[in-house]
Structures are given as structure tokens and as C-alpha cells.
Amino acid sequence: MKKAATKTFTGSRIRHQRNHVGMTQSALARRLGISASYLNQIEHDARPLPLALLDRLCEIFAVGVDYFSDTEETRGIQALREILADPVFDTDAVRLDSIQAAMRVAPDLCAQFIRLYRAYLLRHEQAATPLIGPVPPQHDGAPDRVEPYEAVNDWVQAQRNYFDEVDRTAERQAERMRLDEGNPGEQLARYLLDQHGIRTEIDLALGQRGLMWHMDRRRRTLFLSRIVPSESSTFWMAQALGQIEHQGVFARTIRRSRLRESEARGLARVYLTNYFAGALLLPYERFRATARDVRHDLELLQRHFGVSFEQACQRLSTMQRPGSEGVPFYFLKTDIAGNILKSFSANRFAQSRFGGPCPLWNIFRAFSTPQQVQVQLSQTTDGALYLNIARTVGRNSISYLDRPRLTAVVLGCSIADAPHLIYSAGLDLNDPRMIIPIGPGCRACTRENCHHRALPMVGHRVDIDNEGRGIAPYRTAL
């Protein structure tokens, strides 16, 4: 399902990709069959990108068509708007059109500014937190840095949560093992034993040590926790297989990233191991075709492939193989307190990076109806419309004293793609009364009369008139 580009002026993105692969402007112009002066005009946004060149650029740089849309620009604009809402800045001095112009002309500079602000927030939080014990050492001699997990998240997002070599490696392995011809868990256990002499056993005490699985290479045994459903055990066996056989693929992928800190590279390896496991159990082309046939019915998909609801959701967010794209989804997982545990997006949706999620989002309503799907039409502050599917996930308690984490996931796509989803059945997609306005955290949200506002809008004076009371607890002064 190939998407047309939504923005024709893409000079900065072309220039970024050309510099990334070390290609001169003249060399790229020759491969495109145009003059160097014409390409120079396109790169400086003096000319729009002709649609006739779009497929060729995607082929040369191995990116999807959506790379040349305004998706990344939209995310950057939202991040900058949230940052500039901080009282440390003169909020009234920077207009939205100035932010848009900055993202269009100097996206790399804006990215570095966002990185700097995140490092500033980290230092500010550390200074405000009482330390017990010795002060932790700084990493790599840098006093201000982006947290490793945030650096990895940025890298994953830059790849649109799709890693071609890892994905195709897993797909070929699934075909060789014929995972679709039997119980995947049993087949993986047999493969690990036959090919590597590794047995799988249940360790009753593993959960007490905070582990879900553990590889004992000396005893050639993969120990699995007993407190999880079978699809999780299958996923862990797939992770172990990836670690045993495909470390070279993971290493090559990480070398192509800009991750330099050892901790970030280690976290990236963990992420790629998880990615491989999902791609092995849900091979790209077979999963994409099945998802299309069942109109992305998540319950049908999880039963068909023997995976969990969360695994099916997360795999749908990765279906961005160039030339064979699926519906672009965003995927997010949160706990009941609103802490974001996972967040990926293949469309223009951008979760607030410097504030909490909006309470009107259906992911929070899911906690009141466990294991039931919640469907919602929403509109973000940039005017984009989404169809959101949310549900709680995770294991049940195994005893009265057990305290499993309460989590939920949400999967969302543009309302333009909603007809491809079973969840649009019965919804009037053209009725504005069905649409729920959601936004970033309250401090960055620009909606005036929201009943759910918990904090005043940063950068605006609060109305302190005691002669009347508004709908929202904090009204903006005129």
C-alpha cells in the first residue's frame, strides 16, 4: 500500500540522505537523470520535487515514500513547541511560522537544539533529586547528554521502526524452519535442541530474581519463567535464537547508527533482538497479507499466528518495507500512571516528549475495561485525525500477593486509512461529534476550554478574575 508523498518541497531530506551515504550532488543528479543545477534548486527548495523522481530517490536511498512527507517535520515542530513553552524561554517571541521555517530550512540544527534541551532537563532533574550514596560517574566524560534509552528511541524512530536486514533475515529463517506448519513454541524448542544442543526448561524461581528467561551456556539450557503465557515463552525462545545465530546482523545494523555510547549500543542490541523475535514469529509478507485480509483484526491475527495482542500491535507498527508498505501505524504502551514504556510511529503522530499524555486518550479508558478493545476517533492539536485502538495487556495475577504491572497499548492510524481496519465498522468517520480532541501534556496544549486541563498553559498569563469561574480550572487571560 504505497502512500503518495504529502509534501513536495523536500530539499533538506534529500540533502541529508545524500550526505549520509557520501554522494556528491553531481553523482546523484546523474543517477536521477537530471542536471546538477536542477537538483541544486530542488535541494534548496527553489523547485518542488517532481513525483517522477520520487520512486527513484526511494530506491537510491532505500527509504519509504513517507520519508519525503512532512512526518518528521511535524514531529520536530511539536517537540520545539513543547520546548519553547518552558518558562526559561520568551514564549511570545517565537511564532509558529518561525518554528516551521526553522524545521524546514535547518532540521539538523533543530534536532541538536532538542537534544540540548533534553540534556538540560536531565541535569535539572538530577540537581533536584537527593542522592543516596556516591555520586554516579558521568559517561564518556560528558556532563550533559541524552539518556541512552532516549538515544535508542530516536534512532528507532528515525528508521520508522523498520530494520530491513534484520527483518529479511528473520523472514528467511521462518521460511527455513516452516514455523507456519505447527506450534511455533514446540518448533523453536526442537530447533534449539537439534541445531545447538540447547534444552529449554521451566525455572520456578526465575521470576523471584526479576528474570523472565536466562541462558546458561555452560549447562546449554534456556530457562524460562513459569508465570507467563505460552506466547511469551515462544517469543523469548525466538529472542534466544536471534542472539545465538544473528549477532553479526545486529552488529552491522548498530554500526550504521549514530549511537556511540556503549550503553546505548547495548540497548540497541536488546531492541534488535526483540525486533528479530517479532519478525520471526510474524514474517513480513505473510503477516502483511493476512492483516490486509482480516482488515487488521487484532484478535484474529493473534490467534492465527499464536502471539499476544501486544506482539500483534507492535508488529503492525513496523510494516514499512520500501515498496511493500502496510498501513502506517503509531504504537504506544503505558502503565496506569501514564509512564510511557514504548513509543513508535510510522505516521505523523508524535507523542509529547516533555509532558504527560492527554487524559482524553482512550488508552486510559482501557484500564477501566480490562481485556476489552476501546475504539476512538481523535484529533491532535495539529489538526490530524486518527483512529485509535486501545486495550490492556499483560499477565494476570498468580496469587493474592502477586502484583503484576497494569499496562495498556494503543495502536493508531490516520483516519484516511481507517476503512482498511475492522474497527471502523459502524463508525461515521465524517461526523465531527465522534471526534475526541487530544493533545500533548496540559502545559504545552493550546486548547482553551478543555474540561480536563490539570495545569495552566505555559507562556500565557492566567486569568485571576474572581468574579466568574470558567469550565477549565486555569483560564488564559486575554
Angle between helices 262-281 and 230-245 (to 10 degrees): 120
Do the Cβ atoms of 284 and 254 come closer than 8 Å? Answer: no
Domains of the chain in sequence order: 9-68 (1.10.260.40), 145-276 (1.10.10), 281-446 (no CATH), 447-477 (no CATH)
Distances (CA, A) of 99 to 83, 91, 94, 313, 383: 11, 12, 7, 33, 17
Give the residue, 472 or 360, on which the prediction is more confident: 360
Report d(CA 136, CA 124) in Å as an integer: 15
What residues pair up with 214 in beta bridges, in sequence order? 223
DSSP 3-state of 465: coil
Percent of the chain with pLDDT over 70: 83
Task: Give the gyration radius of the chain's Cα atoms.
Answer: 24
Do the Cβ atoms of 246 and 276 come closer than 8 Å? Answer: yes
Phi/psi at 33 (5° precision)? 75, 30
The grid coordinates listed for 396 are 494476570
Position 129 pLDDT exceeds 50? no
pLDDT of 93: 63
The grid coordinates listed for 335 are 502503565
What is the average per-residue pLDDT within 157-167? 91
- Binned at pLDDT 50, 70 and 90, residue 478 comes out as low
- Which of 140-154, 396-410, 424-438 is predicted most confidently? 424-438
Residue type, 66: D
Which letter does DSSP use for residue 257 in this model? S
Q: Of 114-128, 196-210, 422-436, give the lowest mean pLDDT range.
A: 114-128
What is the average per-residue pLDDT within 323-348? 90
pTM reported for the whole predicted model = 0.74
What is the average per-residue pLDDT within 301-328? 94
Which letter does DSSP use for residue 400 in this model? T
Position 143 pLDDT exceeds 50? no
Position 27 pLDDT exceeds 50? yes
Report d(CA 298, CA 295) in Å as an integer: 9
The grid coordinates listed for 268 are 540497541
For 292-311, letters b (16+ CB in 10 Å) and e give: eeeebbbebbbebbbbbbbb
pLDDT of 126: 56
pLDDT of 146: 66
- Binned at pLDDT 50, 70 and 90, residue 302 comes out as very high
Give the residue, 335 or 103, on which the prediction is more confident: 335
Instruction: Write the pLDDT tens digit of every residue in 406-433.
Output: 899 999 999 999 999 999 998 998 888 8
pLDDT of 19: 85
- Binned at pLDDT 50, 70 and 90, residue 77 comes out as confident
Average pLDDT score over the chain: 83
pLDDT of 141: 42
Report d(CA 407, CA 352) in Å as an integer: 19
Closest Cα to residue 461, out of 440, 471, 476, 446? 476
Q: Across 212-283, where does the E strand assignment appear?
A: 213-216, 221-225
Residue type, 478: L
pLDDT of 150: 82
